[in-house]
Amino acid sequence: MKFAYYPGCSPQTTTRELDFSTRKIAKALEIELEDMNGAACCGSVELRSNDPDLFYAINGRTLAIAESKGLDLLTICNTCQLTLSQANKSLKNDDKLRDNINRILSEVNLRYSGGVDVKHLLWVLLENVGPEKIKKEIKTPLTGLKVAPFYGCHILRPKEILRFDDPDDPRSLEDFIQMCGAEPVDYSGKIKCCGFHILPYNPELAVKLTGKYLKEAGDAGAQCMVTPCPLCFTMLDGYQSQAGKQLGYQFNLPVFHLPQLLGLAMGMGKDELMLKRNMIAVDEILHKIGRI
Amino acid sequence: MEKLSAKIFRYDPTTDDSHRYETFEVPCEKGMRVLDVLMYIQENFDTSLAFRYSCRRARCGSCAVVVNGKPEPACLGEAKKNMVIEPLPNLPIIRDLVVRTDEYEERIQDINPYLVRTKQPELKPEKLLSSDFTQVMPLNECIECFSCVSACPVNGIKWKGFLGPTTLVQLSRRLLDPRDDRDRIQDALRTGFENCVSCYMCVNTCPVEIGILDGAIENIKKNYIEKRQQDDYSKYNNAWKNIVIKNGIVNPFILMRRILKINTLLKNIVTGIKFFLKGRISLSSKRIPNIEEIRKIEKVIGEKR
């Protein structure tokens, strides 16, 4: 099983532990990741509204690179998943748009004919690798650990683009947590917004949103959280103390990236998953599951 | 006859200290709507149950409630075997399932949601091309049911600073209408549109399936950036674009350094130091190997414009 690997900007800068741990679990599960050196930022929601032409051209270029390798694209960020999927859907279905973008891409000797699918790591684990194979690799199940799933927005909505899960009642992250041997905790905030996209110009509001869902997860009995998105991770982990101050609340809720939690269940160590980089210390969780 | 179970939110702020739920068993018929269930309960069990409705065909937008966690017009939503029916969140409760929407309706009035024309058309009757209204037509479908407002996480947290998705749909209708002569960017300034978190909750909830984010809010954002280049919001979005063209990859620290004001930087200095100590801040710019391709693409697009 082989994919063109698109880590996106955050895992190459602020959340390098996500890229690192993804490579670790991929190797163990025989998912071959071919690097796309030269693939650019997806532009996020910012470029999409600011300059749609550039948005389609840059993402068309990324899709064309994957197509030239004959591979589907694997993402590890919700927003990359959404923006690349949106561009992909439009380029596949709108012949005029595709022709226009291909005229631009011909200047850099590329062409996209619509033959690539864009898949998030969570979907690949559940659908392509499959629970049976993963369960065989679970050496140290996280028995008794109560984990709050935090989906984030751009892996669920809009449903016309992201068809993997029910956006109102998703199951994939809960299934993933159970596959790791842990117990998913239910709370309404699991499908809500972490606030990341307004952080640069309204940090107070962004942190308020983060705090609201951290509190909900804690009140529901979670001992830690897991998220498939590095942007949600940055808010939940990196801004947890600010959110606590704002709410007058002392949070201590370790947050894991998807492959970090799976890696732990597969028996990998702290260094192999770069757990020291997490802002909220995970030692208490490691102690709970008998790993230290 | 088969029965369904409807657990209904009950609350009268003039007499009750807090809300409660009451469960009713209602005979279930094929094709039954949530509104039919509410009407059955009112007619057969409790005449005091309060809910709002009018047209019964998803045009007036008055009967929206939350069914099993999701807002929808009661006349549109199919009755389910087990339902929890609640009032729309983010809006003050008058009684039971009836919420106060007048404050929100006034907020829509704030943006002058009507066609403003200062020039008379050259031809009478005026020649209108359907192609000029491609983007406007879907927005005309909005029934102002406020389902999107109740689903919006920002409305739930910062009510006054963000006028919400319904208002932005109405503003976008006028902004995109080629006949409208009013400076809609001035109206946009009063909406707090930049606080939209792009979460798609409004899109997911809209009963008439308006692409509220891509079809309305992003048009406001795009127009605003074009016309107000010197504003912080535009500077942020343009800085993002320029970094993509320059490096192909966005280093958040470089982005923040370009746009954040000194007081915001100082407010976040503790978090910044913690990020730095964990190796989460890289002071140098990373660049993709074949960045010339991105610059060439941008140049070709610029020439075509």
Question: Which of B141, B174, B152 is closest to B61 using CA atoms?
Answer: B141
How confident is the model over B75-88, as a mean pLDDT? 97
Ordered by where they begin, the domains of chain B are 3-99 (3.10.20.30), 102-227 (1.10.1060.10), 244-304 (no CATH)
Ordered by where they begin, the domains of chain A are 2-120 (1.20.1050.140), 130-288 (3.40.50.11810)
Asked if B22 has any chain A CB less than 8 Å from its own CB, the reply is no
Which amino acid is it at A259? P
Separation CA B140–CA B110 (nearest Å): 19
Which amino acid is it at B216? A
Contacts of A112 in chain B (CB under 8 A): none
Interface-testing mutation among A19, A45, A110, A282, with chain B (most B C-beta atoms within 10 A)? A45
Contact call for residues B175 and B111 (beta carbons, < 8 A): no
Contacts of B282 in chain A (CB under 8 A): 13
What's the distance, CA A123 to chain centroid?
10
Q: Express each pLDDT in A23-58 by its tens digit.
A: 999 999 999 999 998 999 999 999 998 999 999 999
Nearest CA in chain A to B282: A13
Contact call for residues B80 and B67 (beta carbons, < 8 A): yes
pLDDT at res. A40: 97
Q: Express each pLDDT in B230-252 by its tens digit.
A: 999 999 999 999 999 999 999 98
For residue A17, is pLDDT > 80?
Answer: yes
pLDDT at res. A57: 98
Asked whether the beta carbons of residue B297 and residue A200 sit closer than 8 angstroms, the reply is no
- The DSSP call for residue A191 is G
How confident is the model over B273-283, as a mean pLDDT? 91
pLDDT at res. B101: 93
Asked whether the beta carbons of residue B248 and residue A38 sit closer than 8 angstroms, the reply is yes
Place of tokens 């999927």: A85
- The DSSP call for residue B215 is I
Would you tell me how many other CB atoms lie within 10 Å of the CB of residue B135?
16
Place of tokens 């993709």: B288
pLDDT band at B159 (very low <50, low <70, confident <90, very high): low
Contact call for residues A68 and A112 (beta carbons, < 8 A): no
Sign of dihedral through CA atoms A215, A220, A221, A225?
negative
Question: Which of A217, A228, A220 is closest to A260 using CA atoms?
Answer: A228
Separation CA B148–CA B170 (nearest Å): 13
Separation CA B202–CA B147 (nearest Å): 8
Asked if B13 has any chain A CB less than 8 Å from its own CB, the reply is no
pLDDT at res. B158: 66
Contact call for residues A63 and A74 (beta carbons, < 8 A): no
Query: Among residues 131-160 of chain B, which lie with CB inside 8 Å of chain A?
Result: 153-154, 157-158
A146 forms beta bridges with A183
User: A135 to chain B, minimum CA–CA distance in Å?
Assistant: 33
For residue B96, is pLDDT > 90?
Answer: yes
Question: Which of A56, A231, A87, A255 is closest to B197 using CA atoms?
Answer: A231
Contact call for residues B5 and B28 (beta carbons, < 8 A): no
The dihedral over CA atoms of A57, A63, A65, A68, expressed in degrees to the nearest 10, equals -130
